[in-house]
């Protein structure tokens, strides 16, 4: 069997402690203080739930990415903090909704909001956070910023529906899977990067390059995230092992195993995937095939290719600088969250 990941310096965590992020340390601290404050909540339920989700251990990848891109572009204007808050709000609201849809009980190593406060409250607070994000983004008085973030929210929702349509689908192909993770993860990172460019008033072409950079980074991150679900201890990763398979999400590792398996193996795998009924014996069989068909290496190569393309976009469109190198370091650090 493939060994479980152990917690080490290479297990990606909140990256604020890393040297290449020292340049945005103050902004990240301001962000943490602002997330609950800017919600301006009145109900006790919303206040308690918001405190629970925003005080939990989080990677804060989206605002960190936003701050680093803004630093590379030389933007430090009045909307810097507020747009970083919007990025984290959109992500958090989507997680609240996802946990209800998936009946999740864990989020970031703690009880999920829907487990503690119930599905109705989790959905309503998610809606509230989306609404507050919309108000804050409108304060920038830039229609293209609103359009970028709103488009990301639309695609994220559509991606969730596409994933639901393919739940327990053992015949899903790799291109459909990649489209799902682009919509669910890549588009928000793309919007975050593009909004930095819009605030800095750079050219349309360079804004589009930033969007593509963020999307490819998001795809690479999600590919690895899905692979880690197969083998990471839930106490380090924040969710139970094999939750994707159990909940019907057919990810790249599963798609690769199915494509590589012989007929006898496929005949055994198909009903397991279609039913999501993975007992201990089935999981052992699955992990044996994962090792046999070198799934981890296959997934890492896919993620590295996306990351390489992302870095090339930065190097082609933006001149060398310490800020650009810090952004590349974040990109590579996300890739090192590996198996």
Would you kindly state where each structural domain of the chain is located, as residue ranges? 16-335
Residue 181 has pLDDT above 60, yes or no: yes
Model pTM? 0.89
Report the alpha-carbon distance of residue 208 to residue 320 in Å, rounded: 19
Phi, psi of 200 (to 5 degrees): -80, -5
Q: What is the pLDDT of residues 4-48, one digit of tens each?
A: 333 333 323 433 346 678 889 999 999 999 999 999 899 999 999
Q: What is the pLDDT of residues 86-136, one digit of tens each?
A: 999 999 999 999 999 988 888 877 889 999 999 999 999 999 999 999 999
DSSP code at position 19: G
**End-to-end CA, the chain:** 13
Q: Which CATH number fits domain 16-335: 1.10.600.10, 3.40.190.10, 3.40.50.720, 2.60.40.10?
A: 1.10.600.10
In this prediction, residue 243 carries a pLDDT of 75
Phi, psi of 51 (to 5 degrees): -65, -40
E strand residue ranges, the chain: 106-107, 110-111
- Given a contact cutoff of 8 angstroms between Cβ atoms, the answer to whether 302 and 253 are in contact is no
């Amino acid at each position: 069997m493939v060994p479980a990941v152990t917690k080490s310096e290479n297990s990606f965590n909140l990256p604020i402690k890393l040297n290449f992020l020292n340049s945005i340390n103050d902004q990240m601290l301001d962000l943490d203080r602002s997330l609950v404050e800017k919600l301006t909540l009145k109900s006790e339920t919303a206040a308690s739930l918001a405190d629970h989700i925003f005080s939990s251990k989080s990677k804060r990848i989206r605002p960190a990415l936003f701050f680093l891109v803004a630093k590379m572009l030389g933007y430090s204007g009045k909307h810097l903090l507020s747009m970083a808050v919007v990025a984290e709000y959109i992500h958090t609201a989507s997680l609240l909704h996802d946990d209800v849809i998936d009946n999740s009980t864990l989020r970031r190593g703690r009880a999920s909001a829907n487990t503690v406060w119930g599905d109705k409250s989790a959905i309503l607070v998610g809606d509230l956070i989306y609404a507050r994000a919309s108000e804050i983004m409108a304060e920038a008085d830039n229609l293209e910023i609103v359009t970028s973030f709103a488009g990301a929210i639309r695609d994220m929702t559509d991606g969730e529906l596409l994933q639901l349509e393919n739940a327990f689908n053992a015949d899903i192909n790799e291109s459909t899977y990649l489209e799902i993770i682009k919509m669910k993860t890549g588009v928000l990172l793309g919007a975050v990067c593009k909004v930095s460019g819009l605030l800095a008033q750079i050219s349309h072409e360079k804004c589009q390059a930033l969007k593509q950079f963020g999307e490819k980074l998001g795809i690479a991150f999600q590919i690895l995230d899905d692979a880690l679900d197969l083998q990471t201890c839930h106490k380090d990763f924040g969710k139970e092992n094999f939750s994707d398979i159990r909940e019907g999400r057919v990810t790249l590792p599963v798609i690769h195993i199915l494509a590589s398996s012989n007929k006898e193996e496929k005949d055994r795998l198909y009903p397991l995937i279609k039913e999501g009924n993975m007992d201990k014996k089935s999981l052992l069989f699955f992990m044996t095939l994962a090792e046999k068909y070198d799934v981890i290496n296959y997934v890492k190569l896919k993620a590295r290719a996306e990351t390489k393309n992302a870095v090339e976009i930065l190097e082609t469109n933006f001149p060398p600088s310490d800020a650009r190198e810090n952004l590349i370091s974040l990109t590579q650090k996300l890739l090192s969250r590996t198996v």
